[in-house]
């Protein structure tokens, strides 16, 4: 056994979060044999299945829908699920209750948040005609921000997060930023950027897709105005599970939604012709919530009971440190280049390696049971989800990567 | 046995759709005993559970998500589900393939459709500054249309469907109408209203929530421009299952979405900073589809295999005719007033009865196992879903209503 393998074993033995792995369905035997003993490093794209979810979904389908039917809107708590589940996400992103509502996709929530932020800036009485958007952001945020700008008569200006402080002015209405760069895994400085945005009199909207559940966010502490995020990555809500919207409590009365659906009415069943928005988080709702996906998410969030997000962050950094060390040891000089910052303060919970022929390399990794993903044109992404990824997984992934890149195959392991 | 009970038995025996009922989970024993032998007349709010759905959802959760994980986006057909399921809905609303995409809520789709319609009218080069909206519509359509008007600089003008022909002018950009009035069950004349809208040079957007799956719609035949609908009523997709958007084929290239999320990009995984819309139905997509709800819907749609929507319509009208006849026989003169048109051409698939103390009456009906719903302030709604409601159900519902209104209790039946 190599020194790195021995170190991995010791690190796993000392890991206070190691017990969380048993709450997930992993190590399953599928028709794709190589996956059976695989290393799943794509939880930053789709989180693994929490073990309690299947039985819960079955109850939702068979009993709540199949037997109680329409009564479940009240009796099974369907109607209040968006706020209730929002309150369950809240502590994971440093928010007090009553400020997060779950529903719709991230893209739809970006639209709500950016338009609402522009309107809040407008209601302050200034002539703020510019929206800044993270030029390195996941593309949908840029597309949607462009639409929000067009529909509110603002100009959209893409800048890198580093350029934001210099780009802010009294023309800035709102700034949309990603907490972690989806491609490189770079963590942006939410506290100082938010403070800079506020100093310029603008509103800060943060996309937490790649940070929530992986590291502390501190929405309330840092005075973030609005935030959105998905729930199918580090929150393990399932494929396409609903996203969420955070509106800081003291801004909620000024949240003027571009999507004022009946679910956000102060009296939804009054069926009134005139719209009158609800107070609080429900003002961010739109249409009927998709209950199956939403209640699967609610069950999935139970894995966080008793888990400290600081412990998650500590393990995440230790995992990515160790993985980078193993890559250094196993992968020949110059074969890959890490795009992920070395400094902990600038690192999310993934490692991105630039690699020639990355698409083909990732295919071979997956054949060998190491599941990451490929991002065009030349990036290998490896996501580290501290609740179910261990140090032996990190060592093995780096080792298999080294083998794939040298064309070797580990003895005793069939190449798929 | 009364004459009406005998007639109900004969009608059920001759019903060519009677066999469809066994494809649904009904007559379940729940903790609410009275429901066990109940009559479910609320399928116009939440359709009953198709019997094949639970096993399919379990496979989606346990195998597709739990074992295949990220690979399911390709291998389990997750990515293409929105268009594939759209094509499955298409024949039910008279649409050729390639024009319907599933996703988001009805409210969000109303926003896409109305904004896109206004932009299409604008691109025609005229100064059309007015949107007409059905003043009797389900409230969310009006709220969302108001936002669409505000964000496109148009004026929203609520009119009843009957007033539409007189309200149309060269100022009209788009008209948003409901096919069936959610409260009264009145069916509006889609062919002639669409023709009138077109004669005025405007675009017609139809909301099919209360008609799709209950009667022929004929979107293509009647040249409807855009349409939206939910899937949890007569389509039985489950609570909050995703809605759909229809864009007529020859308008798709001009569909300019206010919600241009990455899923609607011509190359979603190119991760390009500039938005370039996809061709065809996928242009109506926004964010990541909610797979659990969406694939439950896909399984639910299997009950339509081999079912003629004309046969559904014929049975629906026979059911509502028979129910009204039974109400006439069992309910004392003047106790209820039907808001649902007598003429078949003006009737959807529900019966709405105005009734003093309707809220309390509905409570007592539900206690007796007859599940309809109450709409503020004084309406009892009874939805007739021809795939699983029979004539004996209609007779029993009317009989129990008569008993509840006279305070009598049928011998042999405990009043819960």
Of B174, B257, B234, the C-alpha closest to B383 is B234
Binding-site positions of A: 106-107, 138-141, 207, 210, 232, 262, 288
pLDDT in the model for residue A234: 98
Is B67 contained in some domain? yes
Cβ-based neighbours of A388, under 8 Å, separated by 6 or more: A20, A21, A23, A24, A26, A40, A43, A48
pLDDT reading at A398 higher than 90: yes
Phi, psi for residue B285 in degrees, rounded to 5? -75, 165
The 10 Å CB-count burial string (b at 16+, else e) for B272-307 is: beebebbebbbbbbbbbbbbbbbbbbbbbbebbeeb
pLDDT in the model for residue A123: 79
What is the Cα–Cα distance from A253 to A245, expressed in whole angstroms? 15
CB A287 within 8 A of CB B105: yes
Domain boundary among B304, B323, B339: B304
pLDDT in the model for residue B34: 42
β-bridge partners, A24: A50
User: Are both B252 and B321 inside the same structural domain?
Assistant: no
Please tell me what DSSP assigns to residue B136.
T
Binding-site positions of A for pyridoxal 5'-phosphate: 106-107, 138-141, 207, 210, 232, 262, 288
Of B114, B372, B101, B136, the C-alpha closest to B231 is B101
pLDDT in the model for residue B31: 40
Does any CB of chain A come closer than 8 Å to the CB of residue B68? yes
B230: left (phi over 0), alpha (psi -120 to 50) or beta: beta
Is A13 contained in some domain? yes
User: Are both A189 and A147 inside the same structural domain?
Assistant: yes
Does any CB of chain A come closer than 8 Å to the CB of residue B67? yes
The CATH number for B204's domain is 3.40.640.10
The CATH number for A46's domain is 3.90.1150.10
pLDDT in the model for residue B37: 61
Degrees to nearest 5, angle at CA A170 with A141 and A199: 80
Is B357 contained in some domain? yes
Domain boundary among A274, A304, A334: A304
User: Are both B73 and B26 inside the same structural domain?
Assistant: no
User: Are both B312 and B285 inside the same structural domain?
Assistant: no
Q: Calculate the dihedral angle through the C-alpha atoms of B202, B207, B212, B218, rounding to the nearest 10 degrees.
A: 0
pLDDT in the model for residue B138: 86
Q: What is the mean pLDDT of chain B?
A: 94
User: Are both B374 and B274 inside the same structural domain?
Assistant: no
CB contact under 8 A, B232 and A263: no
Degrees to nearest 5, angle at CA A45 with A102 and A93: 45
CB A236 within 8 A of CB A260: no
User: Are both A297 and A395 inside the same structural domain?
Assistant: no
User: Are both B292 and B368 inside the same structural domain?
Assistant: no
CB contact under 8 A, A259 and B30: no
The 10 Å CB-count burial string (b at 16+, else e) for A70-94 is: bbbbeebebbebbbebbbbbbebbb
Catalytic residue among A24, A40, A111, A138: A138
CB B208 within 8 A of CB B44: no
pLDDT reading at A410 higher than 80: no
State chain B's maximal CA–CA distance in angstroms: 72
pLDDT in the model for residue B373: 93
CB A102 within 8 A of CB B240: no
Of B262, B279, B251, B233, the C-alpha closest to B44 is B233
What is the Cα–Cα distance from A379 to B179, expressed in whole angstroms? 50
CB contact under 8 A, B108 and A286: yes
Residue among A286, A371, A376 minimizing CB distance to B105: A286
pLDDT reading at A392 higher than 70: yes
pLDDT reading at A238 higher than 90: yes
Does any CB of chain A come closer than 8 Å to the CB of residue B254? no
pLDDT in the model for residue B376: 86
Distance of CA A238 to the CA centre of its chain: 12
Please tell me what DSSP assigns to residue B349.
S
pLDDT in the model for residue B414: 41
pLDDT in the model for residue B140: 94
For residue B392, count CB atoms less than 10 angstroms from its CB and return exposed for 0-12, middle for 13-18, buried for 19 or more: middle
The interface residues of chain B toward chain A in range 311-370, judged by CB-CB distance below 8 A, are: none
B373-377, Cβ contacts within 8 angstroms, sequence gap of 24 or more? B373/A70, B373/B42, B373/B45, B375/A271, B375/B182, B375/B183, B376/A269, B376/A270, B376/A271
In the residue annotation, B207 being an active-site residue is answered as yes
pLDDT band at A28 (very low <50, low <70, confident <90, very high): low
Is A345 contained in some domain? yes
What is the Cα–Cα distance from B315 to A145, expressed in whole angstroms? 49
- Which stretches in chain B have pLDDT values below 50? 29-36, 409-416
Is A416 contained in some domain? no
B91: how many CB neighbours lie within 10 A of its CB? 12
What is the Cα–Cα distance from B181 to B203, expressed in whole angstroms? 20
Does any CB of chain A come closer than 8 Å to the CB of residue B305? no
What is the Cα–Cα distance from A145 to A154, expressed in whole angstroms? 10
In the residue annotation, B384 being an active-site residue is answered as no
- Run of H or E residues at B8: helix B3-13
Degrees to nearest 5, angle at CA B285 with B280 and B290: 135
Distance of CA A193 to the CA centre of its chain: 19
Catalytic residue among A207, A225, A373, A393: A207
User: Are both A251 and A317 inside the same structural domain?
Assistant: no
User: Are both B219 and B109 inside the same structural domain?
Assistant: yes
CB contact under 8 A, B151 and A146: no
pLDDT in the model for residue A416: 37
Q: Which residue of B has its CA nearest to A65?
A: B49
pLDDT in the model for residue A212: 98
User: Are both A250 and A320 inside the same structural domain?
Assistant: no
Mutate to test the interface with A, among B44, B57, B69, B365 (most CBs of A within 10 A): B69
User: Are both B388 and B276 inside the same structural domain?
Assistant: no
Is A155 contained in some domain? yes
CB B173 within 8 A of CB B131: yes
How many Cα neighbours within 13 Å face the side chain of B155? Answer: 8
What is the Cα–Cα distance from B413 to B416, expressed in whole angstroms? 8
Determine the structural domain holding residue B359 and report its residue range. Answer: 3-37+308-406
Phi, psi for residue A115 in degrees, rounded to 5? -60, -45
Residue among A61, A289, A294 minimizing CB distance to B54: A61
CB B182 within 8 A of CB B348: no
The 10 Å CB-count burial string (b at 16+, else e) for A132-171 is: bbbebbbbbbbbbbbbbbebbebebbbbebeebeebbeeb
What average pLDDT does the segment A324-350 reach?
Answer: 96
Mutate to test the interface with A, among B105, B137, B352 (most CBs of A within 10 A): B105
Give one DSSP letter per residue of B16-39, joined into a string: TTGGGGGGB--S---SSGGGTT-E
Of A17, A30, A55, A348, the C-alpha closest to A181 is A348
For residue A1, count CB atoms less than 10 angstroms from its CB and return exposed for 0-12, middle for 13-18, buried for 19 or more: exposed
pLDDT in the model for residue A411: 39
Sheet of B373-375: strand order equals B336-338, B350-355, B379-383, B373-375
pLDDT reading at A84 higher than 90: yes
If DSSP codes are grouped into helix, strand and coil, which group holds residue A403?
helix
User: Are both B134 and B183 inside the same structural domain?
Assistant: yes
Overall domain count for chain A: 2
Domain boundary among B283, B304, B325: B304
Is A64 contained in some domain? no
For residue range A35-53, list pLDDT tens digits in order: 446 899 999 999 999 999 9
Is B415 contained in some domain? no
Of A349, A331, A384, the C-alpha closest to A186 is A349
């Amino acid at each position: 056994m190599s020194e790195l393998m021995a170190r991995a074993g010791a690190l796993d033995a000392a890991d206070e979060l190691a017990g969380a792995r048993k709450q997930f369905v992993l190590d399953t035997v599928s028709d794709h044999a190589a996956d059976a003993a695989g290393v799943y490093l794509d939880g930053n794209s789709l989180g693994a299945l929490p073990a309690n979810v299947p039985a819960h979904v079955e109850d939702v389908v068979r009993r709540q829908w199949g037997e109680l039917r329409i009564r479940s809107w009240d009796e099974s708590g369907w109607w209040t699920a968006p706020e209730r589940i929002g309150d369950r996400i809240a502590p994971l992103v440093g928010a007090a209750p009553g400020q997060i509502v779950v529903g719709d996709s991230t893209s739809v929530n970006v639209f709500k948040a950016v338009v609402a932020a522009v309107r809040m800036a407008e209601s302050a009485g200034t002539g703020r005609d510019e929206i800044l958007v993270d030029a390195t952001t996941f593309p949908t945020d840029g597309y949607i921000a462009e639409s929000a700008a067009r529909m509110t008569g603002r100009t959209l200006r893409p800048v890198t997060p580093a350029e934001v402080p210099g780009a802010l002015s009294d023309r800035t209405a709102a700034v949309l930023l990603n907490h972690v760069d989806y491609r490189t895994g770079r963590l942006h400085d939410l506290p100082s950027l938010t403070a800079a945005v506020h100093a310029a009199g603008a509103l800060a909207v943060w996309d937490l897709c790649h940070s929530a559940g992986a590291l502390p966010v501190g929405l309330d502490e840092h005075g973030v105005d609005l935030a959105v995020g998905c729930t199918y990555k580090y929150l393990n809500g399932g494929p396409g599970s609903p996203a969420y919207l955070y509106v800081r409590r003291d801004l909620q009365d000024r949240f003027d939604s571009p999507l004022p659906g009946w679910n956000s009415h102060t009296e939804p069943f009054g069926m009134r012709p005139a719209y009158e928005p609800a107070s609080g988080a429900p003002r961010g709702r739109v249409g009927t919530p998709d209950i199956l996906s939403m209640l699967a998410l609610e069950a999935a969030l139970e894995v966080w009971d008793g888990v400290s997000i600081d412990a998650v962050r500590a393990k995440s950094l230790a995992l990515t440190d160790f993985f980078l060390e193993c890559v250094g040891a196993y992968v020949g000089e110059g074969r890959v280049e890490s795009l992920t910052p070395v400094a902990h303060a600038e690192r999310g919970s993934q490692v991105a390696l630039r690699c020639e022929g990355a698409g083909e390399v990732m295919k071979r990794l997956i054949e060998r049971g190491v599941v990451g993903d490929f991002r065009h044109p030349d990036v290998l992404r490896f996501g580290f989800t501290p609740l179910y990824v261990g140090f032996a997984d990190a060592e093995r992934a780096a080792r298999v990567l080294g083998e794939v890149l040298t064309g070797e195959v580990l003895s005793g392991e069939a190449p798929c």
